[in-house]
Structure 1
Amino acid sequence: MKIKMIKRAPGSIDGIRTEFYEEGQIYDLPLFMANSFEAKGYAVKIDGAPQEQKVISPVETKHEELSMQTMDELKEIAKSMGISGYSKLNKEDLIKAIHDAVN
């Protein structure tokens, strides 16, 4: 998803390395990051493509919210977040990995 940053913001695609996304620059980011930056007021989306993917924002990553997702949905979220080894995790461990990656 293409976004234009309206404020400088830190971010991490892999949950490990922090990068800074500079004001005024255009970035092509995973949908979950684009939605997060937009929700926090750091960016505006510039790609007019319709969104078909359910995105979990940081506010929605409470254990109860994630536990309502199916394993397929959780695996898709983990894949988009770059969480390694997600396919081998059980539901509880997958929820924890997603929660830890967001927070």
Structure 2
Amino acid sequence: MKIIADLCIVPMGSGPSVSHYIREVRDIIDASGLVYEMHANGTNIEGEMAEVSATIEACCQRLHAIGVERIFCTMSFSTRTDKAQRMADKLASLG
């Protein structure tokens, strides 16, 4: 099932700046081959639900491996059955 997900991963207890950890997350998402777009408070990802989920799991595993003891994640996603839709399509429909 294709999804467009909005993901936010927050390393807990890591101080006010988490850019080092988010670079790690970005590298994993980039290596996944999924289409994604980072924004100020998270990342939009599109692809098959299983692939997106596996990528998020890999992100969490990496953060734990480099010493983050607790991670808070939120993800919302949408699916459609009436047509195939990509992030770019949604933005283009705004005119």
State the TM-score, normalized to the length of structure 1.
Answer: 0.28
State the TM-score, normalized to the length of structure 2.
Answer: 0.29
| Higher strand residue share | 2
